[in-house]
Amino acid sequence: MAVTLHDVARRAGVSIKTVSNVINDRPNVGKTTRALVQAAVEELGYTPNLTARGLRSGRKGAIALAVPDLALSYFAELAAAVIEAAEAAGVVVLIEQTGASREREVALLKSPRLNMTDGLIFSPLGMGQDDVDALRVDYPLVVLGERVFDAPADHVTMHNVAGARAATEHLVSTGRRRIAVVGAHAGEVVGSAGLRLAGYREGLEAAGVAFDPELIGYSELWHRADGANVMRELLARGVEFDAVFGLNDTLALGAMRVLQEAGLRVPEDVAVIGFDDLDEAPYAIPSLSTVDPGRGWIARTAVSLLLQRIESGGGASTARRHVADFQVVARESTISPVS
């Protein structure tokens, strides 16, 4: 059915290796032969069999991306950026969903399915420091996020602490002092929730504002609904606050809806800031202030690091660590428009 090198070789009257050399732009092919072969390729509509190439050369031209769930906006947008960056390098992306389950994350790392790809970009959410050994794999690996420190793999991450601190300071700079937090994880130290909460405390301290545990709203998951629930609970408790820091944008958006439902004006009565700079943040009403964690840069860097590892034969040199620049994006939810 499919056209192979043999067919092209027969048509052009050369050996299959010469055709292979033409396809791969090897230098040692004569001009006339090259043209002859190219004509035959054109004529027969030959396309290389990537599976066979992968078997023989070990390079498959595909990478895997493992995220908790594509239905979570942050990961969908991250995946979109990873696919775009990979595409630019001529590589395709195979996506795995781990459901943020520690077991599935650990299992994935040893899955035979991964040997269809040249390497993995892995964004764990359930694994912890204890699983650091599971990351000691024999294929190129880039880890995203901050669940595991000192991993024996390249690491691309964001300034969770500094970003959260900057968000807090931004709120303080607009005159807010009672800043509620939505989405904290009890007792967590590593992980986005723990780090961002630490940044929040740093920001308060720098501004000379006392930390009040009453202002911290906890929720395990980070969906819109969780943000709404936590905010309802804070309101019910009667805690006073003039600002809300959602540990990510979906939490902030959920919280913001509840605030408006309760008749509180954003930002006049309560300012709201999130974290992630989702595509939808600018289009919320009011548009959501947030921290842009450099998602695009993270995606591009992760792809580029992974491709470098693949290129270099996966030699387990020292693990590199890259941190994206962040930026506070002030929008209407923290700064009232000039009226």
C-alpha separations of 70 from 157, 165, 295 in Å = 19, 28, 15
Residue 84's binding partner among DNA, its own copies, none (Cβ under 5 to 8 angstroms by kind) is its own copies
Is residue 15 part of the contact set for DNA (CB under 7 A)?
Answer: yes
Smallest Cα–Cα separation from 218: which of 184, 259, 262, 253?
A: 184
CB 77 within 8 A of CB 284: no
Between 204 and 231, name the residue whose CB sits nearer to its own copies: 231
Q: How many CB atoms lie within 10 A of CB 316?
A: 12
List 102, 178, 223, 322, residue binding its own copies (CB under 8 A): 223
Is residue 178 part of the contact set for its own copies (CB under 8 A)?
Answer: no
Structure tokens at 233: 């609970």
Q: Least distance in Å: CB of 18 to DNA? A: 3
Binders in 82-121 for its own copies, by CB under 8 A: 83-84, 87, 92-97, 110, 112-113, 115-116
Smallest Cα–Cα separation from 92: which of 57, 127, 58, 117?
A: 117
CB 66 within 8 A of CB 120: yes
d(CA 303, CA 315): 17
Q: Does residue 286 have a cis bond before it (omega within 30 degrees)?
A: yes
Binders in 28-57 for DNA, by CB under 7 A: 28-34, 46, 48-49, 52-53, 55-57
Residue 94's binding partner among DNA, its own copies, none (Cβ under 5 to 8 angstroms by kind) is its own copies
Residue 16's binding partner among its own copies, DNA, none (Cβ under 5 to 8 angstroms by kind) is DNA
Q: Least distance in Å: CB of 335 to its own copies? A: 16
Distance of CA 22 to the CA centre of its chain: 38
Contact letters for DNA, residues 132-171 (x by CB under 7 A)? ----------------------------------------
C-alpha separations of 218 from 43, 106, 194, 228, 256 in Å = 65, 27, 11, 12, 16
Between 35 and 189, name the residue whose CB sits nearer to DNA: 35
C-alpha separations of 92 from 79, 88, 281, 308 in Å = 12, 10, 29, 16
Residue 20's binding partner among its own copies, DNA, none (Cβ under 5 to 8 angstroms by kind) is DNA
Q: How many CA atoms lie within 13 A of 97 on its CB side?
A: 7
Residue 299's binding partner among its own copies, DNA, none (Cβ under 5 to 8 angstroms by kind) is none
**DSSP letter at 282?**
G
- Which single residue is written with the structure tokens 């920001």? 203
Interface residues with DNA (CB under 7 A) are 2, 4-6, 13-18, 20-21, 23-24, 27-34, 46, 48-49, 52-53, 55-57
Interface residues with its own copies (CB under 8 A) are 1-2, 47-52, 54-55, 60-62, 69-71, 73, 76-77, 79-80, 83-84, 87, 92-97, 110, 112-113, 115-116, 138, 223-225, 228, 254, 257-258, 260-261, 279-280, 282-285
